[in-house]
A and B are shown apart, each in its own frame.
Chain A
Amino acid sequence: MPGEAFTGPLEKVGDCKYRIPKSYKPGMRVDGLIYADEVLIEQIRRDNAPDQVANVAFLPGIQKASLAMPDIHWGYGFPIGGVAAMDPAEGGVISPGGVGYDINCGVRAIRSDLTREDVQPRVEQIVTEFFTRVPCGVGEGGTVTFSPSEMRRVCLEGARYVVRRGHGWEEDLERTEAGGCIEGADPDAVSKRAYDRGKDQVGSLGAGNHFLEVQAVDEIFDERAAEALGVAKDSVTFMIHCGSRGFGHQVCDDYIKTMRGAARKYGFDLPDQQLCCAPVESEEGQQYLGAMRAAANYAWANRQLLMALVREALSRVFGKPAERLGLRLIYDVAHNIAKMETHTVDGRERLLCVHRKGATRAFPAGHAEVPRVYRDVGQPVIIPGDMGRYSFLLVGLPGAMEETFGSVCHGAGRAMSRTEATRRVSGEQVRRDLAAKGIVAMARSWKGLAEEYSGAYKDVAEVVQVVERAGLARRVCRLRPLGVVKG
């Protein structure tokens, strides 16, 4: 029964690790492994998420363990906060449920030369400017409509395409995961319906937990890394959380259908229909990979366009071009994606299909895929918290490569359902509470704002502490919200 507390085994196997042994359910190919401390594991037990960790362990070709990050919570199929790497050479599969409907949902953080002192008196004006310029909320279209041939280029080139059309700077691409474009996208593997849904939505925020935030750095944990990322105490940053909108949702819908058929065709015995999958090397697997990459590229183009709107808005408020405000991208990272990556398993390098469903890539210093500007400190990892408390910037550590296929958490993780949240607070109350803390909030939906209130989330500070204690990533700084725009 969905939603029940987990009563299965959770064996403490390290400082911040709990194991679900593969003996828990017949059919599990590997153990489940959840990164959490004593406090978080009690929250994690309260819903079905650990059972979903065990279910992912059924998938063919899974390597080492079905992993879960400390922000894990109940999803559909995969848990949110799940990581699973499959080896195609061992019949490893790819599963649309391991990526999710919002393909390449991710976060983008922007630094500035502005200080808290510069921004505090103008937060209301900034948030209003964002709210006016950035399309957000249910049913809202984007800022640009692409023709069919332009949409194909978005699919193939991602953020590169929109930057070359004038919506950003070349250096933005260096500071985006995969350069803002995964190779191997196949626009022909995307349905007409996905194009229909996506063509008017590029450059829109959407709704739900997506947001645009104004933040100030209030604590530095690692001076050297902070300097590399371009942030200092009391400097102001901006954060965008968004994905591939209806385009990605439709790609997932389409391929869940394909994979339901494929799972039967290949004789997979799966504990949840949402885990349907096909071998990476199969025709179905390759088609999904091509379509998923197209949607991932769409998402990078979307966040690039949103950043262009942020730059325009701030230029207007401060009467200076974005360059003179120092509005440089820190990094853009995906947290719903499947990527082919090389990792070492049992002492041997292998090309694996790494699913990150609500998990962030966190490659360490020296890794070839870390942008040159960060090569000495590690890949920036952006971990949004909730709109009333704080968010964090981290950098990846070698431990992530050794243990979690270069992955960490993606956020705070929900601790309370949306219905429970609206039982406890109203949107108006949330706005007043945020205002009392000096945070200006604007939202298209009051109810949506209530569902996203701080109390509905775990404390992200506890989540990132676990990640640091486990040696997966290191905290660089903490960001306090000053203003927030929600859909």
Chain B
Amino acid sequence: MGTFTVFDHTADIGLDVQGRSLEDLLETAARAVFDQMLEDWPDKVEVLDEVRAAAMPGLAGDTAELLVVWLQELLYRFETGRLVPMTFEFGGIGPGEVRATVGFGRFEPCRHRTRLAVKAVTYHGLDVHREPDGAWRARFILDV
């Protein structure tokens, strides 16, 4: 399981995420984003769903873009279905595409305490790279 830290940004939220693999990075990044939104998480997984996120044609080789579209997909599911991603089984990460079976818990506004509404994952200062030791690292700013 990867790790994340929040870095200071005057108006928004900056996240530094590390994972042992790209899959681990994507999972940890998802947990990091939802950790900014929720103080209480759902108790259990209620929905298992296939999640597919694809980069725009022309940006297929861009891992940073892949991270952004992955997080955008999860934020979309939260806003439209109140689904909180809790478990992850990656089915494949190819050029410009990530596929995973995600276990979602249900967010209930009357039961779960919240923190920030994340509007978007921005491209400002966005960086995703692989360290010499093979670990992956991402740095990005959320608009809140």
Contact with B along A101-113 (1 / 0, CB 8 A): 1100000000000
Q: Which residue of A lies closest to B125 (CB)?
A: A2
Across the interface, which residues of A come within 8 angstroms of B80, CB to CB?
A: 196-197
Across the interface, which residues of A come within 8 angstroms of B8, CB to CB?
A: 3, 417, 419-420
Interface size for A (C-beta < 8 A) is: 52
How far, in whole Å, are A315 and B52 apart by their CA atoms in the complex?
49
B117 touches A76 (CB 8 A): no
Contact with A along B86-130 (1 / 0, CB 8 A): 000000000000000000000101000111110110111110000
- Select A207's contact among B13, B59, B116, beta carbons within 8 Å: B116
Judge whether A444 is part of the interface by a CB distance below 8 angstroms.
yes
Across the interface, which residues of A come within 8 angstroms of B125, CB to CB?
A: 2, 76, 272
Q: A100-B143, A414-B10 are in contact. Are A207 and B124 (CB under 8 A)?
A: no
Judge whether B47 is part of the interface by a CB distance below 8 angstroms.
no
Judge whether B38 is part of the interface by a CB distance below 8 angstroms.
yes
Across the interface, which residues of B come within 8 angstroms of A196, CB to CB?
A: 76, 80
- Select B141's contact among A2, A100, A197, beta carbons within 8 Å: A2
Contact with B along A446-487 (1 / 0, CB 8 A): 111001000000000000000000000000000000000001
B39 touches A447 (CB 8 A): yes
A76 touches B109 (CB 8 A): no
- Select B122's contact among A77, A261, A415, A416, beta carbons within 8 Å: A77
How far, in whole Å, are A303 and B53 apart by their CA atoms in the complex?
33
How far, in whole Å, are A256 and B72 apart by their CA atoms in the complex?
13
A74 touches B119 (CB 8 A): no
Stretch of A33-41, A137-145, A233-241 contacting B (4+ beta carbons < 8 Å): A137-145
Q: A2-B14, A261-B56 are in contact. Are A249 and B9 (CB under 8 A)?
A: no
Q: Which residue of B lies closest to A420 (CB)?
A: B8
- Which of B10, B38, B124 gathers the greatest number of chain A CB atoms within 10 Å? B10
Judge whether A273 is part of the interface by a CB distance below 8 angstroms.
yes
Q: Could you list some 18 contacts between A and B, CB below 8 A?
A: A2-B14, A49-B10, A101-B122, A101-B143, A102-B119, A138-B38, A207-B117, A208-B119, A252-B120, A273-B126, A276-B123, A415-B10, A416-B10, A418-B13, A418-B116, A419-B13, A448-B114, A448-B115
Across the interface, which residues of A come within 8 angstroms of B132, CB to CB?
A: none
Those of A240-264 within 8 Å (CB) of chain B: 246, 249-250, 252-253, 256-257, 260-261, 264
Judge whether B78 is part of the interface by a CB distance below 8 angstroms.
yes
Contact with A along B5-29 (1 / 0, CB 8 A): 0111111111000000000000000
A253 touches B72 (CB 8 A): yes
Judge whether A286 is part of the interface by a CB distance below 8 angstroms.
no
How far, in whole Å, are A446 and B78 apart by their CA atoms in the complex?
21
Judge whether B51 is part of the interface by a CB distance below 8 angstroms.
no
Nearest Cβ on chain A to B64's Cβ, whole angstroms: 9
Across the interface, which residues of B come within 8 angstroms of A417, CB to CB?
A: 8-10
Q: A102-B119, A139-B78, A140-B109 are in contact. Are A272 and B114 (CB under 8 A)?
A: no
A101 touches B120 (CB 8 A): yes
B109 touches A137 (CB 8 A): yes
Across the interface, which residues of A come within 8 angstroms of B12, CB to CB?
A: 75-76, 418
A74 touches B11 (CB 8 A): yes
A138 touches B124 (CB 8 A): no
Judge whether A47 is part of the interface by a CB distance below 8 angstroms.
yes
Across the interface, which residues of A come within 8 angstroms of B37, CB to CB?
A: 138
